[in-house]
Chain A
Amino acid sequence: MANQMFSNILVVPAIAGALCLILPRVKWIKEIIAFLAAAYTFYLSFALYPLGEVRASFFTLNLGGFELPFAFRGYPLSSLLVIFASFFVTIIVLYSWSFMAGKRGLHIYYAFSLWTLAAANGVLLSDNLFFLLIFWEILTALLFFLIGLGGNNKARAGMGKAFVILGFTDACMLLGVVLVALKYGNLSLSTLKIPVSDTTSTVMYLLFLAAAMAKAGAMPLHSWIPTAAEGAPTPVLALLPASLDKLLGIYLLARISLDIFQLNGGLRTVLLVIGGVTVLAAVGMAMVQHELKKLLSFHAISQVGYMVLGIGTGVTAGIVGGLFHMINHAIYKSGLFLSAGSVEKRAETTELDQVGGLARYMPFTFITMTIFAFSISGIPPFNGFASKWLVYQGLVETHQTVWLVVAVFGSALTLASFIKVLASIFTGKKPEGLPGKITDVPISMKIPSLLLAVLCIFFGVFASYPVYKLILPALGYSTNISITAPLMLGMGFYSSTLATVLIIVGIFIGLLIYAILRTGKMKVVEPFFYGEKFPYSYSPLTKEPDSVRFPGTEYYKTVEKLGILKGVYRDAKRGVFDLYNYLGFLGQSLFVRPMKLMHTGVLSTYLSWCIIGVVAILITVLTP
């Protein structure tokens, strides 16, 4: 029974993926197969969740003296995440029907998406670190090809960077798995307990941590996400860096930090520092981006910081908040990427200074994207607020005031940068460069966004439901609280439902006041532009009011020119903080180039190496 269920969840998408690859290139066949397979997996995963703790073992691999059972375990958190993973794949496949239509390599795209689902389910359900590692590496390889489907030279840069960074951390994890296996002789996620006390166990933990951080995209292993965002097809971004990779990365982080390793204070601090720095630095970078997908990708990094902070606190409120934020983030960030895709599909560009005034033409996209943007910025009553709130609670409870301030400040900056996004895409006047006739996207692209938006609101307004009914049970607490109950974790108190009512009332009163005072006098002031003097060239004083545009690039330019930040931003743009560039350069100039120079092509040089080699060996061997 359980065996059957586990194998179905993995095998169905895997076989459907293979079918997509090998079936003849008949129109629609692969789209339909992909959608059905993903939807069926989604359906199957619902059957898995209520079972609670189930196990199944298939066979045992003997590798180098280790008995490695190919075992699965329906740990509640795993089953929950399987549901979400299948859900995201399903809606993104649906979205891709129209978005990807007419692009090259579609059979590869659908096949690899399904295989990604299969491998992700493998990671989530596997009960053995070794097989988790295998699925993990398969995911890395699939991501590589999915990014490459972008087909341009930017995608090429992105795919390379992604594979190198993730490959590096995969190698770290491999080392970690081997070390754990040798020391403890046990790789089962459910029974392995390692107290972090000495250097060895700290190193083991850090090796696993690196893998989780790179997958989720926390600093300093984040830099593949923005580069990939420039070139990869948008649904791929929504699928992997935005949703699945977050689920998996934070899942692994949660498992290693909460279950396997018993962390000490020092490592918690490491997590907090990673989280805090990620929140602030990534959002700072996001502020000054003017390409929509790249901007979103920096937010995808920044939000990881909250999850890491939450888990780093080590108290219930924080952990629940971190996991809740992971799910919420996957929802709204894939929504944002899908919206970006809609804009890209219609406007044929995602440069913020080339679009504008689209609200009139794409009202649906405007509304859903606004919902997602408010969610990510942590505006109540949307879901982002609820989970951030819990993370703050965790930080308050553990007296991490510094990181609390950082987190709140980061949230404010997020809001600021999304106002820039919304304003430059949807408000103002449509610029000349855009296609003449812009309509909203087709229905198959609307449904995914709609579902995600509904989830955003539902998880926000009834925040107690996911927290008490999904996440706490998944962590092993049993609860019995109605879904309108307030969130009582930590020291604070937040009733999302009450808050919603209050907000609606507030808005209503506001409208009322506006209506009443409308007749009053108005004062003319110098136009301001989100806290800055209006750029002269666009000033309404010199031009017709209709031609006023708010170009995205003008936002927050002062931030970029501010004192020390100026230098930091300049360096960041040059990639100085990018570990990949930095180490790549260092490796090239320290090792590769000198060694290349040594190979002069002169035969005598090569011969003398041989002679030196022989003499060296002789001396080693013959000296007793």
Chain B
Amino acid sequence: MYILCTVLFVIGIYSIIAKRHIVKKIIGMVIIEYSVNLFLILVGYKAGGIAPILAKGQDVAEFASKGVDPLPQALVLTSIVIGLGTLALMAALAIRLYEKYNTFDMSEINRLRG
């Protein structure tokens, strides 16, 4: 699973650097974010673990040994929300950029230089 995480990260980086299309760059960005989210989840994961919710009548010792770490899940939720915000902003900017430059090619959007 960690390998998948790394692969996702590399794919994201590749797409964000090598692809010129603005939407592909955004997708690359999202892939990177999700690879990190996946990593966070994996950190807290235990093989054969149960949801970290203490149900009525459950044995506390068994819960503590089998339950997955709840903190990363909370963190991932937050980071997904943040990722959503970023994605919305990126998409909005992409649309506005297309209106102004009439192109989706990011390497042609280079008026600011030097």
Q: Which residue of B lies closest to A604 (CB)?
A: B17
Contacts of A603 in B (CB 8 A): 25, 106-107, 109
Q: Which among B17, B109, B110, B111 is the interface contact of A607 at CB below 8 angstroms? A: B17
Q: B100 in the interface, Cβ–Cβ < 8 Å?
A: no
Is A604 a contact partner of B110 (Cβ separation < 8 A)?
A: no
Name B20's closest neighbour in chain A (CB-CB): A604
Which positions 604-624 of chain A face chain B at CB distance < 8 Å?
A: 604, 607-608, 611
In the assembled complex, the CB of B99 is this many whole angstroms from the nearest CB of chain A, namely: 18
Which residues on B sit within 8 Å (CB–CB) of A523? Answer: none
Question: Shortest Cβ distance from B65 into chain A, in angstroms?
Answer: 35
Q: Does A4 contact B (CB under 8 A)?
A: no
Contacts of B111 in A (CB 8 A): 601
A596 touches B (CB below 8 Å): yes
| A602 is an interface residue with CB less than 8 A from chain B | yes
Task: Answer whether residue A574 sits at the interface, using C-beta atoms and an 8 A cutoff.
Answer: no
Once bound together, how far apart are the Cα atoms of A603 and B25, in whole Å?
Answer: 10
Q: Which B residues lie within 8 Å of A597 (CB)?
A: 114
In the complex, the chain B residue whose C-beta lies closest to that of A603 is B106
Q: Known: A607-B17, A611-B13. Is A602-B114 also a contact (CB below 8 A)? A: no
Q: A604, B107: Cβ atoms under 8 Å? A: yes
Given A611-B13, A611-B17, decide whether A600 and B110 contact each other with a Cβ distance below 8 A.
yes
Interface residues of A in 184-204 (CB under 8 A from B): none
CA–CA, A603 and B109, complex, Å: 9
Q: Closest chain B residue to A600 by CB distance?
A: B113
- Could you tell me the dominant secondary structure of chain A's interface residues? helix
Closest-by-CB residue of A relative to B111 is A601
Within 8 A of A (CB), among B1-30: 13, 16-18, 20, 25
Collect the chain A residues with CB atoms within 8 Å of residue B20's CB.
Answer: 604
Residues of A within 8 A of B110 (CB): 600-602
Indicate if the CB atoms of A599 and B114 lie closer than 8 Å.
yes
* Chain B residues with CB under 8 A of A607: 16-17
A188 vs B112: C-alpha distance in the bound complex, in angstroms?
52
CB-defined contacts of A611 to chain B, threshold 8 Å: 13, 17
Question: A602 vs B17: C-alpha distance in the bound complex, in angstroms?
Answer: 10
Bound form: Cα–Cα A599–B112 in Å: 9
Report how far A580 CA is from B99 CA in the complex, Å: 47
> Which of B16, B25, B113 has the most CB atoms of chain A within a 10 A radius of its CB?
B113
Q: Which residues of B contact A601 (CB under 8 A)?
A: 109-114
Interface string of B51-86 (1 = CB under 8 A from A): 000000000000000000000000000000000000
Cα of A603 to Cα of B29 in the assembled complex, Å: 13
A: residues with CB less than 8 A from B are 596-597, 599-604, 607-608, 611
17 extra interchain contacts, Cβ-Cβ under 8 A, other than A601-B112, A604-B17?
A596-B113, A597-B114, A599-B113, A599-B114, A600-B110, A601-B111, A601-B113, A601-B114, A602-B107, A603-B25, A603-B106, A603-B107, A604-B20, A604-B107, A607-B17, A608-B17, A611-B17
Give the 4 A-B CB pairs with smallest separation, nearest first: A601-B110, A601-B113, A596-B114, A602-B107
30 contacts between A and B (CB under 8 A): A596-B113, A596-B114, A597-B114, A599-B113, A599-B114, A600-B110, A600-B113, A601-B109, A601-B110, A601-B111, A601-B112, A601-B113, A601-B114, A602-B106, A602-B107, A602-B110, A603-B25, A603-B106, A603-B107, A603-B109, A604-B17, A604-B18, A604-B20, A604-B106, A604-B107, A607-B16, A607-B17, A608-B17, A611-B13, A611-B17
